[in-house]
Structure 1
Amino acid sequence: MEEKFLQIEENKIRYLESGDSGNTLVLIHGLGASAERWEKVIPLFSKKYRVIVPDIIGFGYSDKPLVDYTPDFFAEFLEKFFIESGIKRPNLIGSSLGGQIAAEYTSSHSDNIEKLILVSPAGIMKQSTPALDAYIMAALYPNEQSAKNAFEMMEASGESPDDALVNAFVERMRLPNAKLAFMSTLLGLKNSESLTSKLSSISVPTLIIWGSDDPVIPINYSDDFISAIKDCRFFRMDGCGHTPYVQDPNTFASKVLEFLDSP
């Protein structure tokens, strides 16, 4: 993986790139995460695709301007990122908040996307869950114990999260403006209209992947996406929580590649 940077207006945006295929796959991470969240599947995808993984604006090591972090703001950021990086008609994967951003963008730019994969996407659920509450607390009071507790709850596996994951999260949340961007995003999501009305505008082939044991955004919310998106397929990843691409990267990558290879 190669670390790169580009400029979007006055903001410096970091991203990872791997692979040299003519076909592009863009991965969008979730709330409070960074491009590294995808590190277990990037090598699996880069064998067949040029993989581009940004730290979305406000998160990771990209700039965190003092703005309102609304779903519309993130969708506009994605459009600007595609333009500045010269990406045309990529396949697009989004997880959690990244799933909402990917769906929001594709609902109004279906001609610009080849295929869409949404992983436990946000945008429908409006109330919180205990696992999400723990994650918010870890972001506001970033220390090893709070972060470890949050990731244990999110994965719902009973196993301790990787120390590197925990330490990296704590480090990022202590960066200037990181908490502000995190909380502004939460408020922006809470005060936005439900994604439901926009899903019917998505006209590209779509795959929904959801961990069966997801305690952050429970799997029953998948029905709203499946019923609203015209050309939609669904795969439940049994035994996984909120990030199946971290817990079972081989199965996840296999299902995604199978979908991308299909007519």
Structure 2
Amino acid sequence: MNALSTDLFLNWEYEKGKNARIRYREYSQPKTDKPSLLFVHGYGGMLEHWNQNIPLFAEKYHILAIDLLGFGGSEKPNARYRLSLFAEQIRALLVHKNISNVVIVGHSMGGASGLYFAHENPDIVEGLILANPSGLFGDTMDPMAKAFFGLIASPLIGEVMFAAFANHIGVSQSLLPTYYNQKKVDLQLINQFTKPLQDKGAVWSYLSPSRRPHDFTLEHLPKPCNYRNKAFLVWGAEDSALPPHKIIPEFQQLLPQAGAFIIPEASHCIHHDAHETFNARLAYILSHEL
């Protein structure tokens, strides 16, 4: 990409008296005529999951990509992980880089975190582009899934199951349902998602959504939320975990101004699963809608 796309780190005080190193990357220099773009990955992901998206925009826009606390190359302390914490992390990075005008591109949990940040800081965000965002689930979780998450919420069973799944086979089995194009789940992607699972403290962040599910929902936000600027929902038609026909109307209660664009033959990891179509839609939004 360019000379600025190497790993950078921010020492962030995530709780009073507690600091952690946050990994991010920066592409190009800030532009006077365009907002910065901030890419925020989903649960279990990392900034490299945007590798088929960022290069297309890196010459034209100033871009930041971040690893959320507990994921990717960021530290993984024993903290209370939650959307509000990730929103605080986003704010810390933007303050660190002196950015007051940003478009957030967020996938899944990263989309929910970006929306939470925009709700609390509406004047900073020029646009929200949410790719299969999580945070609103309705009645989409079947009884078997609820029973499973109940099991891994138990500290002892959860850690045993984490150890069982924190390997190439477990990662492959977890990723395949999130892709329509199964060939995209190759060894490179599996290695990319497996490596952070071996880090010290990974068990704390990866099990947090099952142990404290309410910390990862947007249900308590007012409808509509405080963010009133432009918003866009981009969804994979084949996302069985967050089916668009059920979840999009819920997000449009939070963001009535948000239009929805559904990409066929794409599942939950839409930005990587169908990267060419996703990139074309993102380019259109950035050029014609913002």
Please give the TM-score of this superposition, normalised by the length of structure 2.
0.82
Once residues 280 and 73 of structure 2 are traced to their aligned partners in structure 1, the CA distance between those partners, rounded to angstroms, is: 29
Write the deviation string for residues 192-228 of structure 1: whole angstroms up to 9, x where unpaired. Answer: 6643633512211000001000123221211111243
Matched with 2:98 is 86
Once residues 43 and 34 of structure 1 are traced to their aligned partners in structure 2, the CA distance between those partners, rounded to angstroms, is: 16
Q: Are 1:6 and 2:10 matched, yes or no?
A: yes
Q: Which of 249, 253, 257 is the matching residue for 2:275?
A: 249
For structure 2, the 5+ residue unaligned runs are: 14-18, 150-157
Matched with 1:145 is 169
SS in 1 for 2:21: strand
Kept after mapping to 2: 8 A contact 1:131/1:150: no
RMSD of aligned C-alpha atoms?
2.5
Please give the TM-score of this superposition, normalised by the length of structure 1.
0.90
Q: Are 1:159 and 2:175 matched, yes or no?
A: no
Kept after mapping to 2: 8 A contact 1:35/1:55: yes
Kept after mapping to 1: 8 A contact 2:164/2:170: no
Based on CA coordinates, which of the two structures has the bigger radius of gyration?
Answer: 2
Aligned 1:1-263 pairs, distance under 5 A:
1-9=5-13, 10-22=19-31, 23-125=35-137, 128=141, 141-159=165-183, 161-190=185-214, 194-195=218-219, 197-198=221-222, 200=224, 201-219=226-244, 220-261=246-287, 262-263=289-290
Kept after mapping to 1: 8 A contact 2:11/2:20: yes
- Count of matched residue positions in the alignment of Structure 1 and Structure 2: 262
Match for 1:63: what amino acid? E
Judged with a 3 Å threshold, the aligned counterparts in structure 2 of structure 1 residues 4 and 131 are, in CA distance, closer, same or farther, namely farther
SS in 2 for 1:91: strand
Judged with a 3 Å threshold, the aligned counterparts in structure 2 of structure 1 residues 243 and 18 are, in CA distance, closer, same or farther, namely same
Match for 1:12: what amino acid? R
Match for 2:201: what amino acid? N
Shift of 1:85: 2.4
Once residues 223 and 100 of structure 2 are traced to their aligned partners in structure 1, the CA distance between those partners, rounded to angstroms, is: 22
Judged with a 3 Å threshold, the aligned counterparts in structure 2 of structure 1 residues 121 and 192 are, in CA distance, closer, same or farther, namely closer
SS in 2 for 1:94: strand
Match for 1:120: what amino acid? N
Shift of 1:160: 5.9
